[in-house]
Amino acid sequence: MQELDTHTFRLAVAQFDRAAEAMQLDPNLRERLKLPQRSLIVSLPVRMDDGRVEVFTGYRVQHDSSRGPCKGGIRYHQDVSLGEVSALAMWMTWKCALAGLPYGGAKGGIQVSPKKLSPAELQRLTRRYAAEIFPLIGPDKDVPAPDVGTDAQVMSWIMDTYSQQVGYAVPGVVTGKPLSLGGSLGREEATGRGVVYVTLEALRHLKLSIENSTVAIQGFGNVGSHTALIMQQEGARVVAISDVTGGIYNAKGLDIPELIRRYRNSGQSLADTKMGEFITNEELLQLDCTVLVPAALSEQITETNADRLRCRILSEGANGPTTLEADRILVEKGIFIIPDILANSGGVIVSYFEWVQDLQRFFWSASDIQQRLHNIITSAFHRTLQFSNERRTSMRMAALMSGIDQVAQAHLQRGLYP
């Protein structure tokens, strides 16, 4: 399918092919799992504030539902495509299986620059999108969540649109909602907290002290900012942060709470905060540090810059930040990689908690959620590490093979219909 032929989708399939080859996966299953189970492309006519009608393109892709309802975010970005969404849905399948969650992977998105829309236009676009994907979603079918360019308010509009269609409130149709609509404590910082939990386990495994560790983070959105804040609370020194405009570096460590206050509340760029010397995103990736966290967009670490990385641990907060060619270079350099489907799974784990709470109409405390998240994600880390050691393979291949195996077993046990 030509529409799927994007860099990101090719990366996801190449990773899958390599893992499938190593585990000698049934050839019939290999072909089935390369492509999404279901893909929907929708045209979204929206009346703009000036009265004209603009048509946007939206997507919802369900990669696999053999283990339960599909789960995955919705992103609003000008570069959203069927190929990108399909790759992200595939990674979500392996991520959920690796964590032991009863979900398959999905992803959705709209090709739009959300900052160019007024709040009213954004709401009309969201509600039209929710109405178009209505046949696919539901608490027992497919449960969306926030992603790049979307937030709790967007999830509220989707939940309300769905609820209006069925005639009663259905909080469990989406996760990442406000607390007043059945959201969960701990959801906003869940992905960043998960990154920190697995990074701490990696530091212990490598016998490195958290107090003597330095951290550089590419990306200062939801994942990057919470990772930075919690890493600092745990005792690490966060020396560099960046966003799309570039970053700042301070060898003595950045004051993350103050940086967040200036960056979020005053609208300053990172460079405008004057809290460190300006560096480019490329320079940040090449800093001498204990932990590097790519928490921005995919394919940031490639064969052209991988050899210049000087971190000890690469903890992937973003989806697909490292290409296959770069992977080989990093392994040869002895960099310990915590792959994306493990490192950033905290978001979907706490989304799972939110969904369970909505279905039960019974809500948990923040400490309960943090403890349950810690238990699930650190258990997944140690299972992956043990698999990696036993099979003498990389952490990425160990994570992929473990997740793929869970999905393959579900397919083999269910059989082929009809």
Residues marked active site are found at 107
Q: What angle do CA 188, 223, 99 make, to 5 degrees?
A: 80
Dig out the tokens for 264 from the structure: 């979020």
Dig out the tokens for 183 from the structure: 């959201």
How many Å is the Cα radius of gyration of the chain?
A: 21
Return the biggest CA–CA distance within the chain.
Answer: 64
Cα separation, 137 vs 72, in Å, equals 11
Say how many C-beta atoms besides its own lie within 10 A of residue 308's C-beta. Answer: 13
Cβ atoms 93, 15 nearer than 8 A? no
Nearest to 8 by CA among 99, 97, 81, 78: 81
Dig out the tokens for 339 from the structure: 């792959």
Nearest to 395 by CA among 345, 339, 346: 339
Find out whether the peptide bond into 257 is cis, omega within 30 degrees of 0: no
Nearest to 38 by CA among 10, 66, 63: 63
Distances (CA, A) of 84 to 9, 36, 109, 298: 6, 12, 9, 10
Nearest to 228 by CA among 266, 255, 200: 255
Cβ atoms 382, 342 nearer than 8 A? no
Give phi and psi for 249, each to the nearest 5: -130, 135
